[in-house]
Amino acid sequence: MKHTINPSRRRFFAQTGAGLLAYAGLPGWLHAMEGMGEMPKMTPKKASANFHPDVEINLICKPSSVSILPGQPTQVLQYSGKLVKGPANTLTEIPGSYLGPVMRFEKGQKIRINLHNQLDEPTVAHWHGLHVPAEQDGHPLYAIDKGETLVYEFEMLNRASMNIYHPHPHNTTAKQVYHGLAGAILVNDDEERRLELPGGEYEVPIVIQDRLFDANNQLQYVRQMHDRMMGFYGDRILVNGRPDFKLDVASRAYRFRILNGSTARIYKLAWDDGHSDTSIPVTVIGTDGGLLETPVNKPYVMLAPGERLDVWADFSGRKVGSQLVLRSRSFSGVLPGMAERMMTGKHGGDDQPHGGGGHRMGMGMHGSALPVGSDYPIFTVRVTKNISDSPALPNKLSTIKHYTLGDTANPNKPVPIAISEGPMRMVLNGRPYAYNDIQPSERIPFNTVQLMEIFHAHGGHGGDKAQGEGGHRMGMGMRHSNDSGDGSPKMGGMGGGGMGMMMAMAHPIHLHGQYFQVFSRTVSNSDSQSYASVKDGFIEGGWKDTVLVMPGERVKIIKPFQDFKGLYMYHCHNLEHEDMGMMRDFLVE
Ligand SMILES: [Cu+2]
């Protein structure tokens, strides 16, 4: 890679966690800060004379103020877009929302986006899901300061799909997303168009987020260490930036483009029409990377941060005045047992160990009005108009070439993505994020298809090998232990796996660059009650860029690394984890 790095503009980011340094008395917390080192500052790229865009957008990120709850407006950060060139339907504002405009692109379009930073801090925009050159991907390396402009130029290579744009600056991604910086990208292509799926007012983006407001309607964010360790959870669900979202529909088929834009919250989506005797399946026609081959009916679907769902929702035959609610249904096991009990207010103070060396999970922790895994509504659909004519759900949606082991360059030696979980230390492959810290397993040969394996490092099976290479230090005498052998996590207990095991939780792992396919999912505790509460909610048959890895699970994926060399991040899309350093780079070379 040839880059101009101006050493006089180097930045130090350790201070971004300053408010949290109150916890610096805990050595493990300092370890978690290791990843928060220095990031070089690049000279922002300018428009190139020989790139002739079909579409050009000015994208401004700036502080703003939006009325969300009754009363005082809420201070937010916001993307606003102006179309400089291209089809009129390229940008669609979501009225009254802090979310950025929905961007609609066509496969094959040449796109220029001029990102203007009007925030008081560095930012950079990442196109989550898009297959773009490394230097167009919004790596933190390319973050710009206030007043600067970064020009992106790329061709849309993706198939029809829903993607995301959001900030990716070093250590402050979660905070910026939480305060409002995010938007949806829809890509269309000929294969999709032939299906004549519901469009226009019948195609509805549904961006699900959770937020916590103070008494003055202002957003509250990370208040304590625990909010980072477990992820930050609000107590109010917003859809497209609105509370108590209601959608008026006609009695016909709709296409819901659903995105989990929360920083940490995982949903178990299911329909509820108020009649417990009838269960309405969720009809899924697409995932992160676009349409499935055929529609899939599920009793519920798990949706982790960063994941998308294309849902066919047919209200044909429903009476005007009837309602349906999309709910998140109850489940367990995505958080450590003790954290789950604390969140639901079932403080097991006496029956749970507080961990070695004085680490207390209970430190400042409190119950939530909306515990993860509880049952609550997401939004309400109201049938307000009778229409007799509705499109039919196609049987065949798209063609997907399914990878086999024979397509991979490394069928017997998967690239490891080891999840290490410890108090104050959530990392991948044993190392917190650091720029220019590429390890041998992170060098990916250009133009290859790779088998990769995501697993919990404390789960045995050589996991600790991946950790041991460099700098693995668990603070306070805690250690990751291999001695459980079978890899079965003992939720909420110290037995067998040590503290790492006790901290086992679910992580949505996101890989930049091309979409991948889930090859296999194996779990050591398949018969557990927790796992049973989520297992029917995974959609594996299509293209993905984010995959939820439950405690005890090993997920093998197959991913192409074609067309572009350079640095591509992989990280936990629990954005609090990402900012703690649960992120690494692959170097495609
Ligand atoms: Cu995570």
pLDDT digits (tens, 9 = 90+) for 293-317: 999 999 999 999 999 999 999 999 9
Which residues, 6 or more positions from 229, have their beta carbon under 8 angstroms from its beta carbon?
Answer: 423, 424, 426, 503, 576
Distance 507 CA to ligand 1 centre (A): 4
Distance 547 CA to ligand 1 centre (A): 11
pLDDT band at 149 (very low <50, low <70, confident <90, very high): very high
| pLDDT of the residue at 199 | 97
Tens digit of pLDDT for each residue in 350-379? Answer: 333 333 333 333 333 456 789 999 999 999
Query: What's the chain's average pLDDT?
Result: 86
Distance 572 CA to ligand 1 centre (A): 5
**Which H or E run contains 256?**
strand 253-260
| pLDDT of the residue at 499 | 55
Query: In the predicted model, is pLDDT for residue 44 greater than 60?
Result: yes
Using CA atoms, how far apart are residues 589 and 582, in angstroms rounded to an integer?
23
Count of H helices and E strands in the chain?
9, 33
Distance 123 CA to ligand 1 centre (A): 22
Distance 361 CA to ligand 1 centre (A): 17
Query: In the predicted model, is pLDDT for residue 454 greater than 80?
Result: yes
| pLDDT of the residue at 361 | 37
Tell me the average pLDDT across 175-182. 98
Distance 82 CA to ligand 1 centre (A): 35
Tens digit of pLDDT for each residue in 549-565? Answer: 999 999 999 999 999 99
How does DSSP assign 118-137, residue by residue?
A: -SSS-B-EEEET----GGGS
Distance 174 CA to ligand 1 centre (A): 12
| pLDDT of the residue at 276 | 66
| pLDDT of the residue at 226 | 85
Distance 582 CA to ligand 1 centre (A): 7
Q: Which residues are registered as beta bridge partners of 453?
A: 416, 556
**Which H or E run contains 212?**
none
Distance 150 CA to ligand 1 centre (A): 29
Distance 229 CA to ligand 1 centre (A): 9
Distance 545 CA to ligand 1 centre (A): 15
Distance 579 CA to ligand 1 centre (A): 10
| pLDDT of the residue at 37 | 60
**Coil, helix or strand for 43?**
coil
Q: Which of 114, 104, 185, 190 is nearest to 148 (CA)?
A: 114
Using CA atoms, how far apart are residues 410 and 554, in angstroms rounded to an integer?
17
Distance 230 CA to ligand 1 centre (A): 8
Distance 456 CA to ligand 1 centre (A): 11
Using CA atoms, how far apart are residues 419 and 431, in angstroms rounded to an integer?
10
Distance 455 CA to ligand 1 centre (A): 12
Query: In the predicted model, is pLDDT for residue 443 greater than 70?
Result: yes
Distance 421 CA to ligand 1 centre (A): 8
List C-alpha distances in Å: 167 to 96, 128, 238, 269: 21, 10, 19, 26
Hey, what are 122's tokens?
Answer: 């560095």
| pLDDT of the residue at 403 | 98
| pLDDT of the residue at 344 | 79
pLDDT band at 584 (very low <50, low <70, confident <90, very high): very high
Other CB atoms within 10 Å distance of the CB of residue 247: 18
Distance 509 CA to ligand 1 centre (A): 7
**Which H or E run contains 585?**
strand 583-588
Q: Which residue has the higher pLDDT, 40 or 413?
A: 413
Listed range (62-71, 254-263, 317-326, 482-491) with the worst mean pLDDT = 482-491
Tens digit of pLDDT for each residue in 379-425? Answer: 999 999 999 899 999 999 999 999 999 999 999 999 999 999 877 68
Distance 333 CA to ligand 1 centre (A): 14
| Count of CA atoms in the C-beta half-sphere (13 A) of 502 | 21
Q: Which of 537, 246, 257 is nearest to 378 (CA)?
A: 246
Distance 168 CA to ligand 1 centre (A): 16
Listed range (44-48, 54-58, 180-184, 354-358) with the worst mean pLDDT = 354-358
Query: What share of the chain in percent tops pLDDT 70?
Result: 82
Distance 11 CA to ligand 1 centre (A): 26
Distance 420 CA to ligand 1 centre (A): 9
Q: Compute the Cα dihedral for 584, 467, 517, 333 and give only its sign.
A: negative
Is 225:268 a contact under the CB 8 Å cutoff? Answer: no
Tens digit of pLDDT for each residue in 329-355? Answer: 999 999 988 888 888 776 544 333 333
| Distance from chain centroid for Cα 190 | 28
Distance 528 CA to ligand 1 centre (A): 21
Is 266:278 a contact under the CB 8 Å cutoff? Answer: no
Distance 72 CA to ligand 1 centre (A): 34
Using CA atoms, how far apart are residues 308 and 326, in angstroms rounded to an integer?
15
Q: Which residues are registered as beta bridge partners of 239?
A: 208, 242
Is 538:557 a contact under the CB 8 Å cutoff? Answer: no
Using CA atoms, how far apart are residues 480 and 571, in angstroms rounded to an integer?
20
Tens digit of pLDDT for each residue in 488-509? Answer: 333 333 333 455 567 789 999 9
Distance 551 CA to ligand 1 centre (A): 11
Using CA atoms, how far apart are residues 355 and 499, in angstroms rounded to an integer?
7
Q: Which of 439, 497, 484 is nearest to 466 (CA)?
A: 439
Distance 19 CA to ligand 1 centre (A): 22
Hey, what are 161's tokens?
Answer: 């799909």
Query: In the predicted model, is pLDDT for residue 570 greater than 50?
Result: yes
Tens digit of pLDDT for each residue in 216-235? Answer: 999 999 888 888 899 999 99
Query: In the predicted model, is pLDDT for residue 458 greater than 50?
Result: yes
Is 383:432 a contact under the CB 8 Å cutoff? Answer: no
pLDDT band at 460 (very low <50, low <70, confident <90, very high): very low
Pairing relation of β-strands 102-106 and 183-188? parallel
| pLDDT of the residue at 359 | 35
Tell me the average pLDDT across 116-138. 98
Pairing relation of β-strands 246-250 and 376-385? parallel
Torsion of CA 35, 40, 46, 52, to 10 degrees: -50
Query: In the predicted model, is pLDDT for residue 477 greater than 90?
Result: no
Q: Compute the Cα dihedral for 119, 122, 127, 129 and give only its sign.
A: negative
Distance 511 CA to ligand 1 centre (A): 13
